Structure 1
Amino acid sequence: MLNVENLLFEKQEGIGLITVNRPKALNALNRATLVEIDSLFEVLGKDEEIKAIIITGSGDKAFVAGADITEMQQMTGVEGRAWGRLAQAVFHKIENFPRPVLAAVNGYALGGGCELAMACDIRIASEKAKFGQPEVSLGITPGFGGTQRLPRLIGRGRAKELLFTGDMIDAEEAYRIGLVNKIAAHQNLVETAKEMANRIMLRGPVAVTLCKAAVNEGLDVDLESGCAYEAEVFGLCFATADQKEGMTAFLEKRKPAFRGK
């Protein structure tokens, strides 16, 4: 496994737990942390033992409180563009990782932290979590995908309100508007995320991967094209051992033993 300074990593029964570990900076994302996340996902993509990923933050205060402003303050336009493109590439890799990625949001998820959570497939929030895109308060726009993923998750009008005002919302409001999937007790947050990951891991791994690809692909095309893509992945399932096992197990009234093939 990689030698990383700003992340902690554990592998637990098929689940990879990634913890952003810069508590003195409220886990703010600097360039080194983004590069480490990118490199770690590259390694995990080749690890067949990993069936799901959970991302959380170190400490009780923050998931990721944003990008590291100390690195950003003196950037030029060219440097700012490159910085945004780096983060976007990392978050795109997370979004398109072939296995489910869950965000266990344990505190502040602001700016780049909210954008990191939105790049994950499923967001589970602590009752203490706070979300927001406050970049306009700093005289900038979101640059890590916030203007694109937020309206896709909560709708154009609500997204514009949060983006224009920079307001911060709590976990209850984030759940109400569809930004998070579930709220958990703070002390049980990671366990709740593991429970959901384990439920997913009981299903056909190839089918889950193809479901993720179909949803991601469909969001970027018209309905007819999205349905055509769905038909393709639906057909691919019938060439897998998992489909044979899943349907045979159903008919034999037993639990399937999927192999991810």
Structure 2
Amino acid sequence: MVFENILSEQKGRIQYITINRESKLNALNKATLAELHVAITTGFNDEGIGGIIITGAGPKAFVAGADIAEFAALDIAGGRDMALDAQTKVFDIIENGNKPVIAAVNGFALGGGLELAMACHIRIASDNAKLGLPEVTLGLIPGYGGTQRLTRLVGRGKTLEMIMTADMISAADGYQYGLINHVVSPAELLPKAEELLNKILLRAPLAIASAIKAVNAATLPGTQGFETEIDEFSKCFGTSDLKEGVNAFLEKRKADFKGK
């Protein structure tokens, strides 16, 4: 597929996805979300890709929100379809993916942009990044999982404050609240994301996938997280990677995992 709104390239075992609508501050319109769905699912299904880094084109914005122009003609049913489509085809797929996804947040991450970053497993932000969920200034609330994921990350009180005031916070505040994993200079943003992902890629891929599933189960309604952990733990014993990891430990050498 030829992409018009994003860039997708592979370097080594890392897939780099860049939201490429710089003139629109990389706003997420319907077409961009559709392209993200294709790029992300392709990466998750490609054995040659171990993980994904998502960022925005240019220095100003990661993603400055949804494309508001698309909201004008929507009614209740249209709004529901928009939220459901985006959540199930992009945001939930990222969160529940079998490979690590890191958001490299450069500049504004507002509305749908912050929701995209929160769906990723790890968030690294440049020190000039601004984060927020300003939907109530439009008469809306976050619709791409923002109310749920932000609550899990920073707690109910801070989530309600951020959403109800619509205020932006700095990357430093985001780090303090637990929303951001690392804050670096703009020049260090992608190198830091690459460094972290490359470290993860040295670990057992099937174990990483199991860890994602088990950790996600900790906050899913109706899910027994401890049972999920036990199930995923036990599945690891059926992998060649576990045998390799144990042998490497006993033989005092680095493990060479194959994802099998």
Superposition TM-score tier, normalisation by shorter sequence: over 0.9
Task: Tell me which amino acid in the other structure corresponds to 1:138.
Answer: L
Residue 118 of structure 1: aligned partner: 118
Using structure 2 for the length normalisation, give the TM-score: 0.97
Quote the Cα distance in structure 1 between the aligned partners of 2:238 and 2:168: 47
How far does residue 119 in structure 1 lie from its aligned partner after superposition?
0.3
Residue 217 of structure 1: aligned partner: 217
Is 1:165 aligned with 2:165?
yes
Residue 27 of structure 1: aligned partner: 26
- 1:123-202 map, 5 Å: 123-202=123-202
How far does residue 219 in structure 1 lie from its aligned partner after superposition?
1.4
How far does residue 79 in structure 1 lie from its aligned partner after superposition?
1.2
Residue 73 of structure 2: aligned partner: 74
C-alpha RMSD of the superposition: 1.1
Quote the Cα distance in structure 1 between the aligned partners of 2:32 and 2:22: 13
Task: Tell me which amino acid in the other structure corresponds to 1:58.
Answer: A
How far does residue 43 in structure 1 lie from its aligned partner after superposition?
1.7
How far does residue 218 in structure 1 lie from its aligned partner after superposition?
2.3
How far does residue 221 in structure 1 lie from its aligned partner after superposition?
4.6
How far does residue 70 in structure 1 lie from its aligned partner after superposition?
1.2
How far does residue 188 in structure 1 lie from its aligned partner after superposition?
1.6
4+ aligned runs moved over 6 Å, structure 1 = none
Task: Tell me which amino acid in the other structure corresponds to 2:38.
Answer: S
User: Is contact 2:133–2:167 with CA below 8 Å preserved after alignment?
Assistant: yes
Give structure 1 stretches of 5+ with no counterpart. none
Number of residue pairs matched by the alignment: 259
Quote the Cα distance in structure 2 between the aligned partners of 1:46 and 1:119: 18
2:140 counterpart SS class: coil
Deviations 1:5-50 (A, max 9, x none): 0000110110000000000100000000001101112222221000
Quote the Cα distance in structure 2 between the aligned partners of 1:110 and 1:246: 41
Quote the Cα distance in structure 1 between the aligned partners of 2:103 and 2:49: 16
Deviations 1:166-224 (A, max 9, x none): 1100100000000000011101211110000000001111111100010112211579x
How far does residue 71 in structure 1 lie from its aligned partner after superposition?
1.2
Residue 239 of structure 2: aligned partner: 240
Is 1:55 aligned with 2:43?
no
Quote the Cα distance in structure 2 between the aligned partners of 1:64 and 1:240: 39
Quote the Cα distance in structure 2 between the aligned partners of 1:171 and 1:43: 31
1:29 counterpart SS class: coil
Give structure 2 stretches of 5+ with no counterpart. none
Task: Tell me which amino acid in the other structure corresponds to 1:254.
Answer: R
Residue 43 of structure 1: aligned partner: 42
Quote the Cα distance in structure 1 between the aligned partners of 2:62 and 2:40: 18
User: Is contact 2:52–2:100 with CA below 8 Å preserved after alignment?
Assistant: yes
1:189 counterpart SS class: helix
Residue 249 of structure 1: aligned partner: 248
Is 1:85 aligned with 2:45?
no
Is 1:101 aligned with 2:115?
no
The range that moved more, 213-222 or 190-199, is: 213-222
Using structure 1 for the length normalisation, give the TM-score: 0.97
Percent identity between the two aligned chains: 51
User: Is contact 2:126–2:184 with CA below 8 Å preserved after alignment?
Assistant: yes
Quote the Cα distance in structure 2 between the aligned partners of 1:101 and 1:82: 26
Deviations 1:102-125 (A, max 9, x none): 000001000000000000000000
1:45 counterpart SS class: helix
User: Is contact 2:43–2:52 with CA below 8 Å preserved after alignment?
Assistant: no
